[in-house]
Structure 1
Amino acid sequence: MSCVNRTFVPYNNVCPFQNKGTKMTKIHYSVLFMAMAAVFSLSSCAGDKEHSAEGTVADATMNGMSIDTGSDTVFVSTMYSDPDKVPGVLIGDSVAVKYVMKDTDGVTVPMVVSLIVIKHSPYYYIQGTWVEPNPIDSAQVQGVILGGDGTAVSVGMETLLFKDWSMDGGMLLLGYKSIGNGHVFDGTDTLKIDRLDADSLVLSRNGNVVWKFGRGK
């Protein structure tokens, strides 16, 4: 093996490899170490390049999320992200993320370094307390509290007890227990979301408005 100057720069004019037949007899460790350090340095720099993605959160867990960009689905990890720069998200949120490729236990993983929620999903707006005047006593209100954990609690109703909720497209599914008229049974009410914004929630069934809620305190 002959010394090639364009690959290694000899230190004190000593070739790092000296052949005797096929046996390596002399290694200049300083040059070899410098070359290896340069390779690792280049690899490290390549992993710091930022990538970006923008789209809708299709799925989310404690450790990552899948983003539908419209033309592809991108998975990014939030396992070691700074919570001040990467806030929590809900399915359906429109987001813009920046990420870098990091080596973790021999596997290259896209790690999020920053995230901005461009537009919140309906899951964000629908959570909270929703009430309307009680038709029997206008001084009182009735309604439902939709918890962030999927639980539901009735407001001002003793015979209709809401238990849980979920969303399926533009529909709200409310699980309940009815204890009126001497009969007790469980059921799920499937309601169309006619309107949802920061202060209003209008729900209908078969084209007829069932609930016309305002945001409660």
Structure 2
Amino acid sequence: MKKICVCLLVFAAMLMMGSCGNKSQQVPFDNGDSADFSIDSTLYGICAEGTSMNSLQIITDTGDTLTLDLSDARDKGKVLGGLQVGDRMAVMPNADKTEARIVINQTTLLGNWVMPNPIDGSDEVGISIKEGGIAESIAQGSIIYRTWRLVHGKLEIVLVREGTNDIEEVSTYDIVKLQADSLVYRDEEEIFEYSRQKPKDTYGVDVKLDDSSLDEFKL
């Protein structure tokens, strides 16, 4: 009788081990939400020597050399900032990268951009767009610009407003106009029209007098 009980216990233990070994682990269900649909499809690179009136040759940051047709972009006024060999460009291409939808000359975009103070027009205020994605305010104490970038063919600016406990505000704009001396961009509510800041006049320039002139001042 004891032998039968021992055999039954051993058999039960074997069944339990077998069932544990065959138990499958649950795998988290992937419904596709983990995919990043916000990946920027903009091409970044340098305007190359093969560029012409109707086509842009760009050497991308990944080392590819592409030639993109500009006909559609020109018709829609989306070639912004001009085409200059050696300038840094940001381009929104079509799916097969044969045509440019939006072309932005990043080199032209850099610099100090100002407008009359909208409060009283007594002074100039604006934004300084610098290399490396750095942005700074010009004569604006209530708005502190921090960074900028071009993404999806738009200008994105990060700023902090006075009295908001250093909370960053991200604004995205469509560039309407970009030339050597003018920059216009807008969002759904406002339009910003800037001109490139001109160097201030230099006062008190030293004048070198010759010896004969110096003698006239001697007593």
Give the structure-2-normalised TM-score: 0.48
Flag the structure with higher helix content.
2
Larger relative CO (CA 8 A, sep 6+): 1 or 2?
2
* Structure showing greater Rg: 2
Flag the structure with higher strand content.
1
Give the structure-1-normalised TM-score: 0.48
